[in-house]
Amino acid sequence: MKLLVVGSGGREHAIAKKLIESKGVEKVFVAPGNDGMLSEGIELVDIAISEHSKLIDFAKKEAIAWTFVGPDDALAAGIVDAFESVGLVAFGPRKNASELEWSKDFAKSIMKKYGVPTARYETFSDFAAAKAYIEEEGAPIVVKADGLALGKGVVVAETVEEAVAAAQDMLLDNKFGDSGARVVIEECLSGEEFSLFAFVNGEDFYLMPTAQDHKRAFDGDKGPNTGGMGAYAPVPHLPAGVVEQAVTEIIQPVLKGMIAEGRPYLGILYAGLMLTVEGPKVIEFNARFGDPETQVILPRLTSDFAENITDLLEGKAPAFTWLEEGVTLGVVVASKGYPLDYEKGVLLPEKTSGEVETYYAGTKRNAAQALVSNGGRVYMLVTTQENVPQAQEIIYQQLRNQDTTGLFYRTDIGNKAIQ
Ligand code: AMP
Ligand code: GLY
């Protein structure tokens, strides 16, 4: 069987790698992918994720069994619906189900309607009304662009002035285009954040190990928000019963709600949660795998990934099995300056082998065929060990031996698990 993965980052590298390891998968194409992914059985296809008709033509020509959609913008643009309309199979929610991610107002309204615990909120398209609400509520307060904004549309404001400025950027100054034409303003929650992922078909869902991302650029959760600088799975220090509580209070009602709304969910549901004193509450839903969480979750899958997804797509109960022992931890290496301006073309270290796996994101081969940086997040080193300190030891030892000139990484990935 031949498969197609849509996307280009470390997440898609991890998906493609797991799929090519599956029995009966002879080739995995990735569109557009990145040069670092190239390996036995994984091929790149030079088609952008927005070019649905070209992707469809390719899938037909190559007799692709099904297509795995990685990124949020492809789902929001209705790529799954486009494939379905010509009788092709794509794994991911349809446009109307992925609205859980591409409209924060929609996600909040579903949560409100179906009683899912989340921060109190109001939605505004009028700046004066938003400003009045912020002044009435006081700070800290959170201002979010309604639509997709590459992870940059959320401002956790410490002061009323900062919150008003954020609302002004979005509603008056059009800083996020259409995505900021409406804003969700919500209560600031506090607690530890973690991610809960599930493979979903309608009301049926199959949980993955819990994971924790590190969104800020620098050590100690300082600096600007990024796409994610490192992750580990599972999160060993979550109190007993938290996942069960999240299942009954969050996952089950939202999936039932989506069916009741005529938007049955098929694909991966990613719940970004905060463990508050009142229990887990939803920070956001995403309609896809997380990056970099995927790179630490999928290595723990011990069942046949392609067979599991095929079963899910055919309405059968897939037999997912996971590594029970130890922890998988990964550190992202990014271009110096990311998430702001950065240089490209930095020569990258050799791919690791053995107990440390390298997943590639922003990379390409230069004219001399050397692998160089070509994006913000460049690669990620991942290992599975008995515990977090051992995994940190192995990854950071490897990183100290690599020439990371022009690049940077956080040195505290996983520390929350050992404090
Ligand atoms: P997002 O882009 O939705 O993932 O949000 C980025 C980050 O903002 C989250 O990872 C949280 O750390 C923070 N955040 C979002 N919503 C809230 C909230 N209601 N209270 C506190 N922090 C929040
Ligand atoms: N890890 C954050 C995200 O994928 O949105």
Q: State the CATH number of the domain containing residue 46.
A: 3.40.50.20
Domain count, the chain: 4
Residues 278 and 204 in one domain: yes
Give the ligand 2 atom nearest the CA of 227.
2
Q: For residue 363, how many other CB atoms are within 10 A of its CB?
A: 25
- Residue where the block lists tokens 């297509």: 67
Closest Cα to atom 3 of ligand 2: 290
CA distance to 33, 60, 101, 208, 288, per residue, from 91 (Å)? 17, 16, 16, 17, 10
pLDDT of residue 250: 98
Say which amino acid occupies 135: E
End residue of a domain, out of 187, 220, 244? 187
Nearest atom in ligand 1 to 152's CA: 2
Cα(270) to centroid of ligand 2, in Å?
Answer: 9
Buried residues in 400-413 as b, exposed as e (16+ CB within 10 A): eebebebbbbbebb
- Ligand 2 mean position, distance from CA 24 (Å): 30
Looking at the fold, whether 228 and 160 belong to one and the same domain comes out as no
Please choose from 154, 275, 277, 288 the residue to mutate so as to test ligand 1's pocket, defined by most ligand atoms within 8 A of CB. 154
pLDDT (mean) for 398-414 = 97
Residue 318 tokens read as 């897939």
| Tokens at 370, concatenated | 């050397």
Distance 213 CA to ligand 2 centre (A): 8
Residue 360's pLDDT band (boundaries 50, 70, 90)?
A: very high
Q: Cα of 282 to ligand 1 centre, how many Å? A: 10
Check whether residue 182 and residue 196 sit in a common domain.
no
**For the domain that residue 403 is a member of, what is the CATH number?**
3.90.600.10
CATH number of residue 183's parent domain:
3.30.1490.20
Establish whether residue 228 lines the binding site of ligand 2, counting it when its CB lies within 6 angstroms of any ligand atom. yes
Centre a 10 Å sphere on the Cβ of residue 50 and count the other Cβ atoms it contains. Answer: 11
Of 124-128, 151-155, 352-356, the range with the lowest mean pLDDT is: 151-155
Q: Give the whole-angstrom CA distance, residue 366 versus residue 371.
A: 6
Residue 158 has what pLDDT? 96
Average pLDDT on 135-156 reads 92
Compute the CA torsion angle 349, 355, 359, 363 (nearest 10 deg): 10
pLDDT tens-digit series, residues 10-27: 999 999 999 999 999 999
Mean predicted lDDT score pLDDT of the chain: 97
Which tens digit of pLDDT belongs to each residue from 35-61? 999 999 999 999 999 999 999 999 999
pLDDT at 36: 98
Q: Is residue 100 part of a domain?
A: no
Measured from the CB, is residue 72 less than 6 Å from ligand 2?
Answer: no
* 237 vs 259: CA distance, rounded Å: 33
pLDDT exceeds cutoff 80 at 30: yes
**pLDDT, tens digit, 9 for 90 and up, residues 73-114:** 999 999 999 999 999 999 999 999 999 999 999 999 999 999
CB atoms within 10 A of CB 171: 24
**383 CA distance to ligand 2 middle (Å):** 20
**Cα 404 to middle of ligand 1, angstroms:** 30
Look at residue 151 and tell me whether its pLDDT is greater than 90: no
What is the reported pLDDT for 149? 86
* CB-CB neighbours of 278 under 10 Å: 9
Average pLDDT over residues 151-177: 93
Using CB distances shorter than 6 Å, the residues near ligand 1 are 119, 142, 151, 154, 156, 186, 188-189, 193, 215, 225, 272, 283-284
Alpha-carbon distance 201 to 91, whole Å? 10
Domain-embedded: residue 387: yes
Q: Are residues 15 and 77 in the same domain?
A: yes
In a domain, 272, yes or no: yes
Q: What is the pLDDT of residue 419?
A: 75
pLDDT at residue 385, as a whole number: 98
Is 90 exceeded by the pLDDT of residue 236?
Answer: yes
Share of the chain above pLDDT 90, in %: 96
Nearest CA to ligand 1 atom 12: 193
Among candidates 63, 192, 180, which has minimal Cα distance to 130? Answer: 180
DSSP 249: I
Ligand 2 atom 4 nearest Cα: 290
Which ligand approaches the C-alpha of residue 225 most closely?
Answer: 1
Residue-range definition of the domain harbouring residue 84: 2-94
Ligand 2 centre from 342 Cα, in Å?
A: 21
The ligand placed nearest to the CA atom of residue 216 is 1
Dihedral angle, C-alpha 147, 278, 216, 92, nearest 10 °: -40
Is residue 111, in this structure, part of any structural domain at all?
A: no
Residues 309 and 331 in one domain: no
CATH number of the domain that residue 229 is part of: 3.30.470.20
With a pLDDT cut of 70, the percent of the chain lying above it is: 100
Segment 246-262 shows an average pLDDT of 98
Predicted local distance difference test score (pLDDT) of residue 150: 78
Q: How confident is the model at residue 152 (pLDDT cuts 50, 70, 90)?
A: confident
Q: Which residues pair with 196 in a beta bridge?
A: 271
Per-residue CA distances from 182 to 178, 285, 408 (Å): 8, 18, 35
